[in-house]
Amino acid sequence: MNSKATTISFDKPASGWQREYRGEGFSLDKWWMGPEIRGESAWAAESLPIGNGWFGASVFGWIADERVQITDKALHLDPVWPDASMRGKATLTNTEELVSLPKLTDALELRFLFPHDPGAVTDYRRALSLDDAVATVEYRAGDVRFRREYFASYPDRALVARFEADRPGALSLEARAENPYLMDQRTGEVSAAGGEIAARQHFRAFNLDFEARLRVVETDGRVTANGGRLRVEGATSATFAFVCDTNWKFDPEIMLSGMCVTDPRLPERVDAFASRAAERGYDALKARHLEDHRSLFGRVSFRLDGDDAESRKAESLFQFGRYLLIASSRPGAMPCNLQGTWNALPQAPWAGGLWMNVNEQMNYWPAFSCNLAECFEPLVRFLDMARPASRAASLEYLARYPTSRALPPPEPGMWNVGTGMIPFRTAMPGGHSGPGTGGFTTKLFWDWWDFTRDRRALETAYPFLRGMADFDCRAVDLFDGKYLSIYSASPEQRRTAEESGEAASGAAGVYSTVGCAFDQEMILENDTDFLRAHALLGKPEDALTAAVREHIGKLDPFQIGADGQLKEFREENHYGDIGEMDHRHISHLCALAPGESINVFDTPELAAAAKKTLLLRGMSGGWGAAHRMICLARLRDGGEAGRHLSSFLKTEVGPNLWHVHSLSDVPVFQIDANFGFSAAVAEMLAQGDGRGRVDLLPALPRQWMGGGEFRGLKVRGGHTVSCRWRDGKVESFSVVPPPGESAPEVFAFGRKAL
């Protein structure tokens, strides 16, 4: 791969198989680790992703038979269909239950056939411009230069494909659409007429309908339709628009019942999308797309001095995370999931779900620091839609784990959320992650306010914080004067053979206990944020605030162990007494990041214990590495953060810059680490405490000391910050407060900035 700071480019097409997508070798019973994952390794490591929030597309750049794979976040297969026993029920999503959880699937395959010999073309290049969100494929066949251009427009809800030849009349191609992985629960058909292909699918498990159109927007060639395909001949250029939609809506009943309501106007709506795109034409479609994308992407820049490969890769990967968030999470659309909005597999790894014990939260950490707060709105809307189902699941949890506290009945807005959500099902607190997943989630809502200081964000966030605080009061009980979560589990930590069995063992060997650090910390974070929001909005004291104030000072979330570590479990003595010593999760450090309760200024002893814990825990890959980097940045340890960063760049990034897990030596794409990397870099470059202090370059990696600059990052307090440094000294900086806020005290490299 060759790259500039905002361009990903290749000198050859993506590798991999070019087969028909009829489900060969695929079985729902075998989950997602079947032979198809090996065949799709090129998609995970080499395809170019574009998206508009509504859907995603992966461009392969194949010469004779171009593949553009489409993902819609609503489309799921159900491994246990037609069994309806889990319809509308919250899942606990322990490992053994994941096998039966519905999973995101490949939506549609677009293929464009060209009369070009792959072995005879020259000057091949395919690239993705992050600045413009445009993917291109260029090559020479004979004496003609051919160019393909793809972009996914948010304002027009359309994927635009433009094909050009530099000699008049030299362009001929055939377009087709394929409905992949059809089976009893998934049926579909494709037809073509005039200048349009129509594709339809029905998912019986969820009463879900999918409609798609591929229309010729403009061409100077001849267009014919035959056998479900379109053919363009004798053209100099041809522009296609692809649009799609489903009958999934932000409707609480979908989460309660697991079923969509039939929408007879769906075909008409999709036809209207296609017609509007055709009316606008290529030039207007591209202009609208560029204006929209650049208005978000152009807010932040980051450049390191020097020409070493690691610096260039770090720059690209930072901006790539911002690009992916813009492409996968926009107002009106679903939030991004574990694969963002891209998945070429019949069943996405880990279901392609919204995993609330670190993954989904990490997806949105860069929304605030990287100046993309609008991209958080889809998750706000989704969780609001899911709250009735989440309330029902929370009531079931509370009935299972009652406390002795005398409290008024739960308010209508009381809720919590467990680990594994999908668009048709919420998750129950508990299982392999304790109820702290709720506070882990609502921390995003406080950050939404704190990084923007937009009162509308605070007003929207308040009911979520309040409803979670109402749950928290009912999830803790007194133990020797401490209010502890009566069911507690540090996400995905499991019992080992050496453990003595002092605490109960949950499903699949989960180590469950009382009052582990993760749950206590996240209850503390949410309830602190709730009380802060309550005061800022000028609301009167009431029964809930009184109940929260009663327990918040008795949560006892932090204990330091015999090795100087921050203890993960109350019954732990030495580090590693319980669970895996090198576990990927660092859940007991969530009060450090994303939380605020541990920090180097107010709690130096706890900060030192957190650092000791990180050293004992060791390095990790994927999102685990990103979380470690963020924690180290919060601890102002740029040297150690830089060591983790260098390792991540060497081992965790595919040629197309997507983060890939390597399972059975096959790249498996998971997007949270991409987002986590961007958030980590932002934390290394700038931080604010929300109380009038801003730190520039608080944790700069040693390898970046030579110089660089950034512009447009956001910090707590809502300040917009920019900085230029060279040889370990700041040359210039700018800190712009939000409207109505005072200028902060600014520090650089830990010293008062002049």
The CA distance from 568 to 494, in Å, is 12
**Domain C-terminal end among 298, 324, 357:** 298
Say whether both 255 and 384 belong to one domain: no
Say whether both 21 and 146 belong to one domain: yes
Say whether both 170 and 268 belong to one domain: yes
Of 303, 363, 292, the C-alpha closest to 722 is 303
Say whether both 289 and 387 belong to one domain: no
The CA distance from 652 to 661, in Å, is 7
* H-run or E-run covering 124: strand 122-129
Contact 516, 489 (CB under 8 A): yes
Neighbours of 357 (CB within 10 A): 27
644 in any annotated domain: no
Helix (H, G, I), strand (E, B) or coil at 90: coil
Q: How far is CA 142 from the centre of its chain?
A: 43
611 in any annotated domain: no
Convert the pLDDT of each residue in 401-415 to its tens digit: 999 999 999 999 999
Contact 641, 616 (CB under 8 A): no
Question: What is the token pair recorded at 470?
Answer: 């109402």
Contact 668, 720 (CB under 8 A): no
Report the DSSP beta bridge partners of residue 527: none
The CA distance from 487 to 189, in Å, is 49
Residues with Cβ within 8 Å of 350's Cβ and at least 6 positions away in sequence, in order, are: 98, 338, 670
Tally the domains of the chain.
2
Convert the pLDDT of each residue in 31-72 to its tens digit: 655 566 777 888 999 999 999 999 999 999 999 999 999 999
753 in any annotated domain: no
Instruction: Report residues of the chain scoring pLDDT below 70.
Output: 1-5, 17-26, 30-36, 496-508, 662-665
Domain that holds residue 394: 371-605
The burial of 681, by beta-carbon neighbours within 10 Å (0-12 exposed, 13-18 middle, 19 or more buried), is given as: buried
- φ, ψ for residue 51, nearest 5 deg: -170, 165
**Domain C-terminal end among 559, 578, 605:** 605
DSSP type of residue 335? P
- Beta-strand pair 693-696/745-748: parallel
Say whether both 406 and 538 belong to one domain: yes
**Domain C-terminal end among 605, 638, 658:** 605
- φ, ψ for residue 31, nearest 5 deg: 60, -140
Say whether both 471 and 566 belong to one domain: yes
The CA distance from 716 to 371, in Å, is 12
Note the pLDDT of residue 259.
98
The pTM assigned to this predicted structure is 0.97
CATH number at residue 160: 2.70.98.50
